[in-house]
Structure 1
Amino acid sequence: MPYNIAMVSDFFFPQPGGVESHIYQLSTKLIDRGHKVIIITHAYAGRTGVRYLTNGLKVYHVPFLVIYRETTFPTVFSFFPIFRNIVLREQIEIVHGHASLSNLCHEAILHARTMGLRTVFTDHSLFGFADAASILTNKLLKFALSDVDHVICVSHTCKENTVLRASLDPLMVSVIPNAVVAENFRPLTQHASDGESSALVSPQPRNLSRNDTITIVVISRLFYNKGTDLLIAAIPRILATQPNVRFLIAGSGPKAIDLEQMIERNVLQDRVELLGPVRHEEVRDVMVKGQIYFHPSLTEAFGTVIVEAASCGLYVVCTRVGGIPEVLPEHMTVFAKPEEDDLVRATGQAIAALRANKVRTERFHEQVCMMYSWTDVAKRTERVYGGISGALSEEEFYGYRGVDDGKSWNATRGRAGVQSFALIDRLKRYYGCGIWAGKLFCLCVVVDYLLFVFLEIFAPRTNIDIARNWPKKPALNAQASDAGGSGIGRKRSGRHRDRPEG
């Protein structure tokens, strides 16, 4: 059955990134499958109000203050009036929040539960347990997920991390990985005739000799957690031992100045090229210029960019951290510890394997096409929606039947479709979040409920106009859906269609 779904996150286009791409691709595939999907995010420079993107995807840009890395200032309650207006206007049934650091996501889940809506949360990242920032983030995550119907993680490592951080029942957490639009990340071809599209020609084996130059590509935000310090330390050592190797680096961030200083200090201007930030639809054009993709991340829940690199026919050198080992098979990757020495060793091993022609990178694209599909991600997410809405029974959703003793499943365990909307049950769940935090969370829930009652009285639902739905097109089969409806990442349809709402 079709659902009306609201995707909520601080992170969305025009900002590039894995979370942003995930929300867009999942939304378009759900629309292809007959559901209604809207996006709620904050306003970006030059992008405010209501916009329509490709495939009739409507985006609400809420004018909230951004404080750090596109995250809005937490207010807890001020978002409720406009959120309620949007939800009622669009007749939303399920609110799906994304990203642990998104303030809009957590507030939307709180308000949605107060309004009696089903909620889902997708976690895209990994966090620690010892530093002050992680402790605070984990406590806020526990607050948000104490009253959520189901949680989705992008890898099994991410699931373990989220279950521990938020003290969740593992049964209420599903693993649904990211995907890529493989058609947008085709490798270069060598024998395309004049006037013939390279997309129609199968890639040929690339035989490298000892004197051929190997280009190592890096496309990443230049932040500490992305391993930029390791990159800066490893580049001079790799280039010192590999004479016919160069680096091509795209991305921006606070570590960019350190990278530039390293190049100046070691006089590597002719062997290291910095491209700066690139748009998502330009990523493929950068990747196909190289033979190896270098990914020195210190923490990663999934790592969509390495799937894109493999789809372009690049051999991947990456750190064995987080969920990265789950992403690609071993014949596509060379793993290293998140240490300078091991990264230098792994890169040398990858270069040697390519020069000896031991790696058939021309087959990577077809293999990635078979492994990852956004249509499959949409189907699995749709099944989660069916579980929390009651369309699937407990046995269908979990794969087995629980003991029917009246105690196996209750409001505090979070069985899909059983989370009670009663205020007293919600308070019980929040009260268990800590000696002091539990009481504070209960107070927030009570105030949120009183605000909801106030809005129902002084801003009645009857005064809110129902929005007209975008005309639905016939449902696409899986093959056609994979080939189409993926405007972001394609030069032809990657531009947003902005139009005022009627």
Structure 2
Amino acid sequence: MVSDFFYPNMGGVESHLYQLSQRLIQRGHKVVIITHAYGNRTGVRYVTNGLKVYYVPLTVIYAQATLPTIYGFFPIFRAVVIRERIDIVHGHGAFSSLCHEAILHGRTMGLKACFTDHSLFGFADASSILTNKLLKFTLSDVDHVICVSHTSKENTVLRAALTPQHVSVIPNAIVASQFKPDPSAADPNHITIIVISRLVYRKGMDLLVAIIPRICAMHPKVRFVVGGDGPKRIDLEQMREKHLLHDRVDLVGSVKHHEVRDVLVQGHIFLNTSLTEAFCIAIVEAACAGLLVVSTKVGGVPEVLPSHMINFAKPEEDDLVIAVSKAINQIRLKEVHPVTFHDEVKQMYSWVNVAERTEKIYESISHMETPPLIERLRRYYGCGVYAGKLFCVVMAVDYLVWMLLEYVFPRSNVEVAQTFPYKRYRKLESLSAVD
């Protein structure tokens, strides 16, 4: 598993990598994660169940994404692949430079590769055009692509000019036992609306800033709890100051994943104001914790929850106020049953199911033939009149770098790492649980 985004950073991609890796380990596979260093967290670390993480010292440029090195990452990546005897490279996140580079280098080394797209992108602005061209380069030579929703699949197929048969949909999931409802934790004298999100433009923070004063004015018994951090936090603080809402808007800051449930159960309604979303795991966690969800109807969100658990709104201020007001009335009329919500979500989303479906993809690509060098060049050449030629040069140089590394640092000189004793670890764990 390769991505710029992993713990201790918090988010949907990070959670996806961790949970999927844990379930694959439980199914008998060896999983290694490669990500960039986070502060002092560098080098090799072991997390739960012997999941091995390589924190590579690379420069972060924006939002935990690393500076592209093209070939600078290759020596480290090759050493890890040989040490850990890797068969499949699975990249996550279109914004991750590590992911794109790992797939390129992995294919050069003859490994199988697949990619999971967790985001939606447009087609018109400059950043989307550049990202889409980079994605087309990476996915031109990949064995399979996974998307987290059908909307995400359609978006990825169009952006990267892929054959739909080579793209599968496997949704995110949650550990339902970590989000058990607790109706007694909510304030009985108020209706509490929870927001847990990165406080950035893409998550619709401008809409949130606009609707909070209006909802507070319309409903005197409503209060907000906003979790998360980001550049838009200052806008929320200014709004709270301007409208004197200090006693009704609580900004709790960044929330660790194991603390999310404790924040959720304080509320009755969960509000998501995202402008674009491929899946939105946060609304699944909220529904599992027994909250009624109000969300903008964007991206893959309509595919996630049944209609009785969620109220939709257009990504507009007036429509969001109407949807939130409707949800407040539903709470007042006691139309929401938290335990029922939890039981339903528990049946709908499971990481075990996600791991089983991912495993089938691994098995299918394991039997595919590795394309020869000329076929890889042909695929890259078809990426555009000018870009295609550039991509061919990048790939050809990557092949030469690999040959140089094989000569200067022979495989026989790379020490093979010992496999973590998963079975023994589980046995000791079970014995300690009995004690």
Q: Which residue in 1 is equivalent to 2:334?
A: 357
Query: Cα deviations across residues 258-294 of structure 1 (Å, max 9, x unaligned)?
Result: 1100111111111111101111111000000000000
- 1:294 alignment counterpart: 271
1:8 counterpart letter in structure 2: V
Aligned counterpart, 2:418: 468
- 2:371 matched to which residue of 1? 421
Q: Which moved more, 1:466-475 or 1:333-342?
A: 466-475
Aligned to 1:453: 403
Instruction: Give the whole-Å Cα distance in 2 for the aligned partners of 1:306 and 1:213.
Output: 21
Number of residue pairs aligned between Structure 1 and Structure 2: 429
Letter in 2 for 1:135: I
Asked whether 1:442 is paired with 2:419, we answer no
Task: Specify the code of the residue in structure 2 equivalent to 1:471.
Answer: P
Cα separation, 2, equivalents of 1:8 and 1:339: 37
Alpha-carbon shift at residue 358 of structure 1 (Å): 2.2
Cα pair 1:207 1:355 within 8 Å, conserved: no
CA distance in 1 between counterparts of 2:228 and 2:424 reads 39
- SS of residue paired to 1:119: strand
The answer to whether the 8 A contact 2:181-2:338 is kept is: no
Selected match of 2:57 from 38, 58, 63:
63
Paired amino acid for 2:353: D
Matches for 1:256-267 after TM superposition, within 5 Å: 256-267=233-244
Equivalence for 1:143: 137
Question: Percent identical across equivalent pairs?
Answer: 63
The residue number in structure 1 matching 2:34 is 40
Alignment partner, residue 195 of structure 2: 218
**1:201-252 deviations in Å (ceiling 9; x for gaps):** xxxxx997xxx41000000000000000000000011111011000000111
Mapped partners of 2:187, 2:205: distance in 1: 31
Matched, 1:307 2:307: no
Whichever structure has more helix as a proportion of its residues is 2
Cα distance 1:189–1:225, how it changes in 2: closer, same or farther (>3 A)?
A: closer
Give the conservation status (yes or no) of the 8 Å contact 1:207–1:357: no
Structure 1 consecutive aligned stretches of length 4 or more whose deviation exceeds 2 Å:
358-362
Between the aligned partners of 2:58 and 2:187, the Cα distance in structure 1 is 53
- The correspondence of residues 483-494 of structure 1 with structure 2, limited to 5 A, is none
User: Equivalent of 1:430, from 371, 380, 397?
Assistant: 380
The structural deviation recorded for 1:46 is 1.5
* Whole-angstrom distance in 2 between the partners of 1:335 and 1:474: 49
In structure 1, C-alpha distance between the alignment counterparts of 2:157 and 2:133, rounded to whole Å: 13
1:376 aligns with 2:353: yes
Which residue in 1 is equivalent to 2:106? 112
Residue 165 of structure 1 corresponds to which residue in structure 2?
Answer: 159
Partner of 1:27: 21
Equivalent residue of 1:36, what SS? coil
Alignment partners' CA distance in 1, 2:25 and 2:135: 29
What is the alpha-carbon distance in structure 1 between the residues aligned to residue 211 and residue 424 of structure 2? 52
How far apart are 1:474 and its partner, in Å? 8.1
Trace 1:3-22 onto structure 2 (pairs within 5 A): 7-22=1-16
Partner of 1:76: 70
With the length of structure 1 as denominator, give the TM-score of the two structures: 0.84
Q: Deviations over 1:311-353 (max 9, x none)?
A: 1100000010000011100000000000000000000000111
Aligned to 2:365: 388
Q: Quote the Cα distance in structure 2 between the aligned partners of 1:421 and 1:89.
A: 24
Q: CA RMSD for the aligned pairs?
A: 1.8
Provide TM-score, normalisation by structure 2: 0.96
Q: Which secondary structure does the structure 1 equivalent of 2:238 belong to? A: helix
2:275 and 2:298 in contact (8 A); partners too: yes
- The aligned residue for residue 242 of structure 1 is 219
In the TM superposition, what is the alpha-carbon distance from 1:472 to its structure 2 partner? 2.4
After TM superposition, give the deviation of residue 115 of structure 1 in Å. Answer: 0.2
Q: 2:45, 2:53 within 8 Å by CA — same for their partners in 1?
A: yes
1:225 alignment partner AA: R
How far apart, in 2, do the equivalents of 1:252 and 1:445 lie?
Answer: 39
Amino acid at match of 1:442: C
Query: Take 2:198 and 2:417, find their aligned partners in 1: how far apart are those partners?
Result: 38
Task: Give the letter aligned to residue 71 of structure 2.
Answer: F
Contact 1:114 1:421 in 2 (8 A): no
- Is contact 1:32–1:475 with CA below 8 Å preserved after alignment? no
State the partner residue of 1:99: 93
Q: Write the distance in 1 (CA, Å) between the matches of 2:118 and 2:152.
A: 7
Supply the distance in 2 between the matched residues of 1:224 and 1:474 (Cα, whole angstroms).
Answer: 47
Matched to 2:245, the amino acid is L
Q: Given the alignment of the two structures, is residue 86 of structure 1 paired with residue 63 of structure 2, yes or no?
A: no
Query: RCO higher in 1 or 2 (8 Å CA, sep ≥ 6)?
Result: 1
Q: 1 CA distance for matches of 2:23 and 2:303? A: 24
Matched residue, 2:296: 319
Q: Is the 8 A contact 1:222 1:228 kept in 2?
A: yes
Match of 1:131 in 2: 125
**Cα distance in structure 1, aligned partners of 2:236 and 2:292:** 23
Q: Is the 8 A contact 1:123 1:152 kept in 2?
A: yes
Amino acid at match of 1:343: L
Structure 2: 5+ residue stretches without partners:
none
Note if contact 1:300-1:321 (Cα within 8 Å) is conserved in structure 2. Answer: yes
- For each residue in 1:74-107, what CA deviation from the matched residue of structure 2 results, as whole angstroms up to 9, or x when unmatched? 0111111110000000000000000000000000
Describe the SS at the equivalent of 2:385: coil
Distance 1:438 1:427 in 2: 9
**Partners of 2:79 and 2:49 in 1: how far apart?**
24
Inter-partner Cα distance in structure 1 for 2:183 and 2:276: 34
**TM-aligned CA deviation for residue 172 of structure 1:** 0.4
**Is the contact between residue 49 and residue 425 of structure 2 (CA under 8 Å) also seen in structure 1?**
no
